[in-house]
């Protein structure tokens, strides 16, 4: 097989989507570097989808690097570890970019690192049973970087189900973001080990690493390592189109199966793990390292320099701005996450969490704001929708509070990829209204 996988570089999901996307190439070739350790870390006790962990520390208490500071109380919870050594200053409620309220531990840096700069020991995992591996993943507080679901929960396959395909998702289809790409280029061996561990837990029929066909370096690095290690893993490159990294679209392309909009990947016998998550599985099992570090892209024209960084969880955004040389112009928007699905924030005190894939400081020119007009019925939203919906129609139903009509038009199928609002020439807040409509329908269901 050739390096580019020539026969399938055009392969992609069939319906809608956006191509080409801006701002991808400029950052791709910048190697990862370690960001400085923040003097004050803000560690939320809730960093995934679920409930906050129970706080185990008190103000003025000394914590070690990697010490457990928040205990998950249930199967769907995730432990939280201290990313730095130091002293707990106080514990205070904060609001996360996506609106969840959670207590957060403020840790002032001080004392000696127990891992940083020390010799790293590797731990063999060959003989370990699946349940032992799962409990390691739970102990280390692993959370899916894309989905926010605890990894031990995701990899626990219910009785009677079999996994046909394990997909390592290295697509990273959002503009700007390329931290997963850097992981695949710089740490192919670790990534492959992570994939093998995940395979040892789920026993899939086949394992696929999926990535974008414009990432030649990563494809080359992975193919070479797979050959060297004689790993039973396929590398599949797909046409760079947004939202190719969405679980449903990815499964549609790689396995040829469509999941019902409200179904899960496991319905088709598939488990999808993000590339960053796979690396954290390796680090948790082989290096016995809890999830306290994260690879992110920090980008946007408001910054003096843009970078792919390894940062401690809990680093406030203000430290990242400093790391990148400060602002050359005032950002018009600050975004936590990718530009298509990320959350806008106004405060530089927001911390990096386990699911943050990047932070963007966008200039007004990158945001492309213009005046809102009437819907033109141009159909761009419909033609860009990967779920085959009519976003403008949904928008109008929701605007007129006709939620049941919107439901029958597929409101709840929306995957919130944002393609519709991205292409709308009338600048209508299509996704905002659709999301509002979904929330109203969901709250009705729970009553």
For 166, the 3-state DSSP assignment is: strand
Give the nearest distance from C-beta 309 to other proteins in angstroms: 20
> Distance between the two ends of the chain, CA-based, in angstroms?
55
For 71, the 3-state DSSP assignment is: strand
CA distance linking residue 313 with residue 70, whole number of Å: 14
Q: What are the structure tokens assigned to 38, written together?
A: 């923040």
Residue number with CB closer to other proteins (18 or 43): 18
Give the nearest distance from C-beta 404 to other proteins in angstroms: 10
For 210, the 3-state DSSP assignment is: strand
Helix ranges (DSSP H) in 187-304: 188-202, 216-229, 247-255, 275-286
172-191 binders of other proteins (CB under 8 A): 175
Give the nearest distance from C-beta 165 to other proteins in angstroms: 14
87 burial type by CB count under 10 A (0-12 exposed, 13-18 middle, 19+ buried): middle
CA distance linking residue 238 with residue 17, whole number of Å: 13
407 contributes a contact to other proteins by CB under 8 A: yes
424-443 binders of other proteins (CB under 8 A): 424-427, 429, 431-432, 435
Residue number with CB closer to other proteins (328 or 376): 376
Residue number with CB closer to other proteins (139 or 399): 399
Site string for other proteins, 311-350 (x = CB under 8 A): -------------------xxxxxx-x-xxxxxxxxx---
Contact assessment for residue 235 and residue 219, using Cβ atoms and an 8 Å cutoff: yes
446 contributes a contact to other proteins by CB under 8 A: no
Q: Which of 385, 394, 398, 406 binds other proteins (CB under 8 A)?
A: 385
Give the nearest distance from C-beta 242 to other proteins in angstroms: 10
The count of chain residues that interact with other proteins, using the rule CB under 8 A, is 76
100 contributes a contact to other proteins by CB under 8 A: no
Q: What are the structure tokens assigned to 221, written together?
A: 């690095």
Span of 71-79, 115-123, 309-317, 360-368 interacting with other proteins by CB under 8 A = 360-368
For 133, the 3-state DSSP assignment is: helix
Give the nearest distance from C-beta 271 to other proteins in angstroms: 15
For 360, the 3-state DSSP assignment is: strand
Q: Which of 53, 360, 398, 406 binds other proteins (CB under 8 A)?
A: 360
Q: Which of 25, 114, 377, 401 binds other proteins (CB under 8 A)?
A: 377
Between β-strands 206-212 and 40-44, what pairing exists: parallel, antiparallel or unpaired? unpaired
Helix ranges (DSSP H) in 385-429: 391-399, 403-408, 419-423
Tokens 């005046």 sit at which residue?
Answer: 371
CA distance linking residue 136 with residue 52, whole number of Å: 20
**44 beta partners:** 104
Residue number with CB closer to other proteins (224 or 372): 372
163 contributes a contact to other proteins by CB under 8 A: no
Residue number with CB closer to other proteins (4 or 19): 19
Give the nearest distance from C-beta 377 to other proteins in angstroms: 5
229-268 binders of other proteins (CB under 8 A): 248, 252, 257-264, 267-268
Residue number with CB closer to other proteins (190 or 247): 247
299 contributes a contact to other proteins by CB under 8 A: no
388 contributes a contact to other proteins by CB under 8 A: yes
- Buried/exposed 303-326: b ≥16 CB within 10 Å, e otherwise: beebbbbebbbbbbbebbbebbee
| Residue among 236, 276, 278 at smallest CA distance from 254 | 236
Q: Which residues contact 69 (CB under 8 A, 6 or more apart)?
A: 43, 45, 55, 56, 57, 63, 80, 81, 82, 88, 105
Q: Strands (DSSP E) along 300-378, which ranges?
A: 307-312, 333-336, 343-345, 358-362
Contact assessment for residue 391 and residue 433, using Cβ atoms and an 8 Å cutoff: no
Give the nearest distance from C-beta 266 to other proteins in angstroms: 9
Give the nearest distance from C-beta 408 to other proteins in angstroms: 9
Give the nearest distance from C-beta 98 to other proteins in angstroms: 10
Site string for other proteins, 186-215 (x = CB under 8 A): ------------------------------
Residue number with CB closer to other proteins (118 or 368): 368
CA distance linking residue 282 with residue 188, whole number of Å: 11
What is the CA 275 to chain-centroid distance, rounded? 9
36 contributes a contact to other proteins by CB under 8 A: no
Q: Which of 3, 15, 129, 161 binds other proteins (CB under 8 A)?
A: 15
Contact assessment for residue 141 and residue 43, using Cβ atoms and an 8 Å cutoff: no
Give the nearest distance from C-beta 60 to other proteins in angstroms: 32
Span of 204-212, 283-291, 310-318, 415-423 interacting with other proteins by CB under 8 A = 415-423
Residue number with CB closer to other proteins (102 or 390): 390
Helix ranges (DSSP H) in 32-150: 130-139
């Amino acid at each position: 097989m050739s390096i580019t996988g020539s026969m399938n570089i055009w392969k992609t999901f069939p319906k809608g989507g956006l191509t080409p996307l801006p701002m991808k190439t400029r950052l791709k070739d910048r190697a990862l570097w370690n960001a400085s350790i923040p003097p004050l870390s803000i560690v939320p006790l809730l960093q995934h989808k679920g409930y906050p962990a129970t706080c185990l520390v008190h103000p003025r208490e000394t914590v070690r690097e990697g010490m457990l500071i928040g205990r998950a109380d249930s199967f769907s919870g995730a432990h939280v570890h201290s990313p730095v050594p130091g002293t707990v200053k106080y514990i205070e409620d904060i609001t996360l970019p996506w609106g969840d309220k959670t207590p957060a531990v403020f840790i002032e840096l001080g004392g000696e690192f127990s891992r940083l700069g020390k010799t790293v020991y590797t731990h063999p995992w060959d003989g370990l049973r699946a349940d032992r591996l799962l409990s390691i993943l739970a102990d280390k507080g692993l959370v899916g970087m894309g989905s926010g679901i605890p990894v031990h929960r995701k990899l626990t396959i219910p009785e009677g189900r079999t996994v046909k395909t394990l997909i390592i998702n290295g697509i990273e289809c959002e503009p700007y973001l390329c931290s997963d790409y850097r992981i695949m280029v710089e740490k192919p061996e670790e990534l492959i080990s992570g994939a093998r561990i995940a395979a040892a837990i789920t026993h899939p029929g086949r394992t696929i690493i999926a990535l974008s066909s414009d990432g030649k370096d990563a494809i080359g690095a992975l193919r070479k390592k797979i050959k060297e290690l004689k790993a039973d893993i396929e590398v599949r490159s797909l046409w760079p189109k947004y939202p190719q990294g969405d679980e449903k679209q990815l499964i549609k392309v790689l396995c040829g199966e469509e999941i019902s909009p409200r179904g899960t990947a496991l319905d088709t016998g598939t488990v999808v793990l993000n590339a960053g998550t796979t690396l954290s599985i390796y680090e948790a099992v082989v290096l016995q390292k809890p999830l306290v570090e994260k690879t992110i892209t920090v980008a946007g024209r408001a910054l003096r320099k843009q970078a792919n960084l390894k940062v401690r969880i809990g680093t406030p955004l203000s430290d990242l701005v400093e790391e990148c040389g400060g602002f050359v112009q005032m950002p018009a928007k600050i975004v936590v996450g990718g530009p298509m699905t990320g959350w806008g924030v106004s405060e530089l005190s927001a911390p990096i969490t386990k699911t943050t894939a990047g932070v963007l400081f966008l200039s007004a020119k990158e945001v492309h704001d213009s005046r809102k007009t009437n819907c033109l019925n141009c159909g761009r939203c419909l033609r860009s929708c990967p779920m085959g919906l009519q976003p403008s129609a949904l928008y109008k139903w929701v605007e007129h509070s006709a939620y049941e009509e919107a439901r029958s038009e597929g409101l709840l199928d929306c995957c919130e990829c944002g393609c519709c609002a991205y292409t709308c020439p009338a600048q209508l807040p299509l996704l905002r209204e659709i999301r509002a409509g979904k929330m109203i329908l969901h709250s009705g269901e729970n009553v």
